[in-house]
């Protein structure tokens, strides 16, 4: 059997171990310490002037805290891009609020500005103005930031920017992770850089960051005894794994470059196959190409190709199944135009790790070519 080719596996730089050793030598084995503050300032420098970063235990925790900080509570409604990973939507349910799912447009596969406005108007007409909008840069492709912000501003609704897949992507030359009232990042094992598991909340407003850290450390009031006047969470990042993050931040630009090279490799070699199309970058959108995705001409072709790859021990995956199709969310209101359902039928994510070898990429390529030759 050929060795397994993974969809997206961790890629260490070799610089991580030193930071972990430092944590052990100084006994900062806790959810605070020099690696935590160092990792935060590394991310702040990378994202640019004015970003305040709180590193947390996961991207999901960051979304949960973000919604709390935006005032989302039981009975509220929160708009969420339907085409995404479940972690974007689950925290809405943690709070006893209702997700309102909105479909995608086909230029970026992300939340459609027209459907968004239709949804907001309809929810207001039905008696509840949505508390927040969760917009996602899927597979690293920035959503239509200006259009979405225009709608959000018209109705005065804050945007929670889910940039879990888009560290290193830019829109109009500005980094993803800087566009929301609150933005979030993920450092899960499969993301463009990883701390094994982890996340961050990003905001231009320093007081929001301070509040996030307060809530993430059990909401302890400033008193000698343990005094609590709010519900808190245990969501801070460990100083040990923050050390992995410090090592990873040193190579982030290289990782973006390598992921983009993967995409260019697939596109240049596969574009002549009639049954396959690619998502190119609209003007002003620069994608980190976290995952290289293709669209086939039908569900049958997509599934046939997926199985052909699996037989060669190559992992691939259909594009995210839209949240409005998930059994757990079937009852939630939704505003659809057919785009995300169609993408789910036809789309496939190909192996995309920054540590793929030429030999592995050629194995993927020849398997795809052989499938369409037959």
> Among the candidate windows 107-115, 157-165, 167-175, 366-374, which touches ligand PLP by CB under 6 A?
157-165
Residue (66 or 368) nearer to ligand PLP, CB: 66
What is the residue-wise DSSP string for 330-363? TTS-EE--SHHHHHHHHEEEEP--TT--HHHHHH
Give how far Cα 45 sits from Cα of 14, 48, 325, Å.
21, 5, 39
Closest CA to 322 of 111, 128, 177: 111
Q: How many residues bind ligand PLP (CB under 6 A)?
A: 14
Query: Which of 300, 299, 351, 290 is CA-nearest to residue 321?
Result: 299
Give the nearest distance from C-beta 166 to ligand PLP in angstroms: 9
Q: At its nearest, how many Å lie between ligand PLP and the CB of residue 163? A: 8
Minimum separation from the CB atom of position 131 to ligand PLP (A): 19
CB of 348 to ligand PLP, least distance (A): 17
Given 131, 175, 191, 361, which residue is catalytic? 191
Residue selected from 16, 162, 341, 360 as contacting ligand PLP according to rule CB under 6 A: 162
CB nearer to ligand PLP: pick between 187 and 371: 187
Q: Taking CB under 6 A as the criterion, which residues in 46-75 touch ligand PLP?
A: 58-60
Residue 289's closest CA among 193, 109, 143, 169?
A: 169
Nearer to ligand PLP, 84 or 98 (CB): 84
* 59/353 with CB nearer ligand PLP: 59
Q: Which residue has the tokens 């020099």?
A: 34
Site residues for ligand PLP, 181-200, by CB under 6 A, read 186, 188, 199
Residues 154 and 130: their CA atoms lie apart, in Å, by 13
Contact stretch for ligand PLP (CB under 6 A) within 21-29, 80-88, 224-232, 342-350 = 80-88
Q: How far is the CB of 362 from ligand PLP (least distance, A)?
A: 28
165, 170, 249, 344: which one binds ligand PLP (CB under 6 A) = 165
CB of 369 to ligand PLP, least distance (A): 29
**Cβ 21 to ligand PLP shortest distance, Å:** 25
Give the integer Cα–Cα distance in Å for 63 and 88. 7
Task: Find out whether 42 and 279 touch, Cβ atoms under 8 Å.
Answer: no
Under rule CB under 6 A, residue 169 binds ligand PLP: no
Is 191 in the active site?
yes
CB-nearer residue toward ligand PLP: 220 or 317: 317
In the complex, residue closest to ligand PLP by CB: 59
Q: Report the distance separating Cα 350 and Cα 5, nearest Å.
A: 10
Give the pair of three-digit tokens for residue 108: 């970026």
Residues of this chain, 82-121, that bind ligand PLP according to CB under 6 A: 84-85, 87-88
Query: Shortest distance, CB of residue 161 to ligand PLP, whole angstroms?
Result: 11
- How many C-beta atoms lie closer than 10 Å to residue 190's C-beta? 16
Long-range contacts of 31-38 (CB under 8 A, 24+ apart): 31/217, 31/234, 31/236, 31/237, 31/238, 31/239, 32/236, 32/239, 33/239, 33/242, 34/239, 35/239, 35/240, 35/242, 35/243, 35/245, 35/246, 36/236, 36/237, 36/238, 36/239, 36/242, 38/242, 38/246
Shorter beta-carbon distance to ligand PLP: residue 60 or 181: 60
DSSP labels, 282-319: PTTEE---SSEEEE-SSHHHHHHHHHHHHHTTB--EES
Q: Which residues, including other chains, have CB under 8 Å from residue 121's CB and lie 6 or more apart?
A: none
Considering only residues 202-241, where is the footprint of ligand PLP by CB under 6 A? none
In the set 70, 119, 136, 294, which binds ligand PLP (CB under 6 A)? 136
* Selected range binding ligand PLP among 103-111, 116-124, 158-166, 294-302, rule: CB under 6 A: 158-166
Footprint of ligand PLP (CB under 6 A): 58-60, 84-85, 87-88, 136, 162, 164-165, 186, 188, 199
* Catalytic residue list: 191
């Amino acid at each position: 059997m050929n060795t397994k080719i993974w969809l997206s596996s961790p890629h260490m730089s070799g610089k991580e171990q030193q930071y972990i050793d430092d944590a052990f030598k100084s006994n900062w084995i806790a959810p605070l310490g020099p690696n935590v503050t160092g990792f935060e300032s590394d991310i702040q420098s990378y994202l640019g002037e004015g970003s305040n970063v709180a590193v947390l235990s996961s991207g999901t925790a960051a979304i949960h805290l973000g919604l709390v900080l935006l005032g989302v509570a039981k009975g509220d409604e929160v708009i969420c891009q339907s085409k995404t990973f479940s972690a974007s939507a689950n925290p809405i349910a943690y709070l006893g609020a209702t997700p309102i799912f909105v479909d995608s447009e086909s230029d970026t596969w992300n939340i459609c500005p027209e459907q968004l406005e239709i949804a907001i108007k309809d929810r207001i007409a039905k008696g509840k103005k949505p508390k927040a909008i969760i917009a996602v840069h899927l597979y690293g492709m920035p959503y239509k930031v200006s259009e979405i912000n225009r709608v959000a501003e018209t109705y005065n609704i804050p945007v929670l920017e889910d940039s879990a897949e888009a560290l290193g992507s830019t829109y109009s030359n500005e980094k993803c992770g800087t566009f929301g009232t609150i933005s979030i990042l993920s450092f899960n094992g499969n993301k463009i850089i990883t701390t094994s598991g982890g996340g961050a909340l990003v905001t231009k407003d320093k007081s929001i960051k301070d509040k996030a850290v307060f809530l993430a450390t059990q909401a302890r009031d400033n008193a000698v005894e343990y005094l609590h006047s709010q519900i808190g969470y245990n969501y801070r990042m460990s100083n040990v794994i923050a050390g992995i993050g410090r090592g990873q931040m040193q190579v982030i630009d290289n990782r973006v470059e390598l992921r983009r090279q993967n995409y260019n490799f697939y596109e240049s070699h596969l574009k002549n196959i009639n049954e396959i199309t690619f998502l190119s970058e609209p003007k002003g959108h620069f994608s980190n190409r976290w995952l290289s995705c293709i669209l086939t001409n039908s569900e049958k072709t997509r599934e046939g190709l997926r199985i052909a790859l699996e037989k060669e021990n190559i992992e691939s995956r259909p594009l995210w199944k839209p949240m409005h199709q998930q059994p757990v969310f079937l009852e939630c209101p939704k505003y659809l135009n057919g785009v995300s359902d169609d993408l789910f039928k036809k789309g496939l994510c190909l192996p995309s790790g920054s540590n793929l070898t030429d030999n592995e990429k050629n194995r993927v390529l020849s398997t795809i070519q052989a499938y369409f030759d037959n």
